Amino acid sequence: MSYLVLARKWRPKTFADTVGQEHVLKALVNALDSGRLHHAYLFAGTRGVGKTTIARILAKALNCENGVTSAPCGECSACREIDEGRFVDLIEVDAASKTKVDDTRDLLDNVQYAPSRGRYKVYLIDEVHMLSTSSFNALLKTLEEPPPHVKFLLATTDPQKLPVTVLSRCLQFNLKRLTPKLIQDRLAHICDAEGIEAETPALAMLARAADGSLRDALSLLDQAIAYCGGRVDEESLALMLGTIDRDHVIRLLRNLAADDAAAIIDLVAELDEQFPDYARLLEDLARMLQRIAVYQLIGSTDADDEIAERVLSELAGLFEPADVQLYYQTALTGRRDLPLAPDPRSGAEMTLLRMLAFKPAAANSASVAPAGSADKPTAAKPGKAPSAAQPAASAARQPAARAAKPPAAGTKGWQDTEWGAIMSELELTGSLRLLAANCALEKRGGNTVYFSLDPRSDSLLTRQRKDALAAALSKHFGEELVVDIQIAKSAPETPHAQENRIADERMVAARKSLESDPNVQTLKNMFGAELKTDTIEPLDSPRSD
């Protein structure tokens, strides 16, 4: 007996066996149970999510010899023949190969005749969007008022190409892409039933590579079984798919955090010996950065198939949230532009180096700037802003310039020290720095330091971060301190709010300076020009955490 591929062998035979698409199945089951059946159904969705499968199960439910039911028996001759693809009253049409109007007319010539064996004559038209305009016009009248013994089941991957006149005559169901978790669980169930030994990380890798399509996942599983010799393991599967070991991506992130360009180039050269898929490398890097961004904001992640929580916590502490967002966008752009690069390796290398080249300057760069640089004028876009914008720029540099060493631990003036100055010396990173920047120092009572937190940033407050802030303060002042953070409706100005206020003041100053510039006034008077103030932006705007 010839081998039957997994995608066909494990095609669901009933609604209960179908993976996902609960919103579609619930509507169909209720319609079948209540007898409220429409004459035309349209199933839309990407490839391999169950459009044709659900349509065939619906055809069985309509023609089962036990009656119209949401749970066809699968034993009667009608159910068996539909499963085997030889039921005479189920007419399957591939619209991609029968696009002409003559094909549609030939199909509709038999609509008026009663079904030969079944209860309903079911027309299943796959990829219906491929029909020509004339074919749609020929189908419209029959689709709107078919005989009572006829049901139309249409399937398409591109519903945007269907005329609205067709859409209005159908009940439309949009099938969703399956989540990696659903696909992974289904693959594990099939491997257990088939007696195939498979590692969980390997199945997770297959689920991600399937990109929401269960049929693609089963085809990849067939390929993996053949490639791995019957046992699906992560290492062999990574070679088959051209994916990158997660440890390499983690090392790459650590090198990015350390600004070590030489180590990045060496790591890419090491990866090149494995003939990797560089588009997949950038995709995995972007996926990891997304997990880091989520972890920085909420302190946890729901990715069961990804890196360990301990490693994710370590990586989240190495990056500023703004850097994570920049690296993520750069990875997406680099992946998009990879076909334009001279070769994939150089394209990936330039993407990684671009991350370092465009990394924002350190927040305290003004305190270590070369002599004389503090007096450089502020430039604004568009055009050149006169010196009227300089006072605001000087005000923006003051917080960093006056970040003096706080008094010694336990002195009387400790509670009067500016919190922004203290925070700049604690060397906080990641989400912990973001939490501290949105806190305002209220007072110190004994060994307890009291803070008020901006209510818009309450999601940053976790016990872990509060304990980490207390540990940083204790280390800095050389005594055991406890932190008490309360969410206040009207808190004093936080360092984050102060930076935003200074930036707004600088923006207002830059706009006023441009509006009063003689050159701008001349252009307005001579040519009727208009200054678009919403496009003005100071070039040396301070970095926001």
Are 523 and 529 in contact by the 8 Å Cβ rule? The answer is yes
CB count, 10 Å around CB of 293? 19
| Candidate from 77-91, 134-148, 352-366 with smallest mean pLDDT | 352-366
Q: Which of 23-37, 395-409, 501-515 has the highest mean pLDDT?
A: 23-37
Q: Please report, to the nearest 10 degrees, the dihedral formed by the alpha carbons of residues 257, 260, 266, 270 taken in order.
A: -10
Tell me what the mean pLDDT of segment 291-317 comes to: 76
Residue 471: phi and psi, rounded to 5, are -65, -40
DSSP 162-200: S-HHHHTTSEEEEPPPPPHHHHHHHHHHHHHHHT-EE-H
Q: Is the dihedral of CA 136, 139, 145, 148 positive or negative?
A: negative
pLDDT at 437: 86
Are 494 and 358 in contact by the 8 Å Cβ rule? The answer is no
Tell me what the mean pLDDT of segment 45-66 comes to: 93
Burial of 318 (0-12, 13-18, 19+ CB in 10 A): middle
Tell me what the mean pLDDT of segment 491-504 comes to: 72
Q: pLDDT higher for 64 or 277?
A: 64
Q: pLDDT higher for 404 or 113?
A: 113
Q: Which CATH architecture has domain 246-357?
A: Up-down Bundle (1.20)
pLDDT at 391: 39
Is the pLDDT score of 404 beyond 80?
no
Q: Which CATH architecture has domain 6-174?
A: 3-Layer(aba) Sandwich (3.40)
Residue 151: phi and psi, rounded to 5, are -125, 135
pLDDT at 376: 40
Residue with tokens 């005000």, as numbered in its chain: 395
- Separation of alpha carbons 41 and 166, rounded Å: 11
B/e letters for 372-399, b = 16+ CB within 10 Å, e = fewer, are: eeeeeebebeeeebbebbbebbeebbeb
What amino acid is encoded at 376 in this protein?
K
Is the pLDDT score of 532 beyond 80?
no
pLDDT at 162: 92
Helix (H) or strand (E) holding 460: none
Q: What is the pLDDT of residues 349-364, one digit of tens each?
A: 999 999 999 887 654 3
Tell me what the mean pLDDT of segment 371-386 comes to: 39
Q: Could you write out the three-class secondary structure of 77-128?
A: HHHHHHHHCCCCCEEEEECCCCCCHHHHHHHHCCCCCCCCCCCCEEEEEECH
Are 312 and 295 in contact by the 8 Å Cβ rule? The answer is yes
According to DSSP, the β-strands at 40-44 and 171-174 are: parallel
Q: Could you write out the three-class secondary structure of 290-347?
A: HHHHHHHHHCCCCCCCCCCHHHHHHHHHHCCHHHHHHHHHHHHHHHHHHHHCCCHHHH
- Separation of alpha carbons 512 and 522, rounded Å: 16
Task: Provide the pLDDT confidence category of residue 119 given band limits of 50, 70 and 90.
Answer: very high
- Separation of alpha carbons 104 and 467, rounded Å: 71
Overall pTM > 0.85: no
Tell me what the mean pLDDT of segment 98-116 comes to: 86
What is the pLDDT of the chain when averaged over all its residues? 81
Q: Could you write out the three-class secondary structure of 32-63?
A: HHHCCCCCEEEEECCCCCCHHHHHHHHHHHHH
From residue 47, alpha-carbon distances to 11, 41, 50, 217, 424 in Å are 14, 18, 8, 11, 53
Share of the chain above pLDDT 90, in %: 34
Task: Please count the CA atoms within 13 angstroms of the CA of 207 that sit on its side-chain side.
Answer: 23
Tell me what the mean pLDDT of segment 501-527 comes to: 77
Is the pLDDT score of 347 beyond 90?
yes
Is the pLDDT score of 413 beyond 70?
no
Task: Provide the pLDDT confidence category of residue 377 given band limits of 50, 70 and 90.
Answer: very low
Task: Provide the pLDDT confidence category of residue 77 given band limits of 50, 70 and 90.
Answer: very high
Helix (H) or strand (E) holding 150: strand 150-156
Residues in the chain: 545
According to DSSP, the β-strands at 380-381 and 537-538 are: antiparallel
Tell me what the mean pLDDT of segment 166-188 comes to: 91
pLDDT at 490: 61
Task: Provide the pLDDT confidence category of residue 397 given band limits of 50, 70 and 90.
Answer: very low
Q: Which of 208, 223, 219, 220 lies closest to 178 in space, CA to CA?
A: 208
Tell me what the mean pLDDT of segment 196-203 comes to: 89
pLDDT at 414: 54
- Is 420-493 assigned to CATH 3.30.300.150? yes
3-state secondary structure of 215: helix
Q: Tell me the CATH number for domain 180-241.
A: 1.10.8.60
Burial of 458 (0-12, 13-18, 19+ CB in 10 A): exposed
Helix (H) or strand (E) holding 155: strand 150-156
Q: Which of 253-267, 397-411, 438-452, 475-489 has the highest mean pLDDT?
A: 253-267
- DSSP character at residue 478: T
Looking at the chain, which residues constitute the CATH 3.30.300.150 domain(s)? 420-493
Task: Provide the pLDDT confidence category of residue 98 given band limits of 50, 70 and 90.
Answer: confident
Q: Which of 118, 170, 183 lies closest to 149 in space, CA to CA?
A: 118
Q: pLDDT higher for 497 or 18?
A: 18
| Candidate from 72-76, 457-461, 523-527 with smallest mean pLDDT | 523-527
- DSSP character at residue 382: S
Tell me what the mean pLDDT of segment 201-220 comes to: 89
3-state secondary structure of 441: strand
Q: What is the pLDDT of residues 433-478, one digit of tens each?
A: 888 888 888 888 888 888 888 887 788 888 888 888 898 888 888 8
Looking at the chain, which residues constitute the CATH 1.20.272.10 domain(s)? 246-357
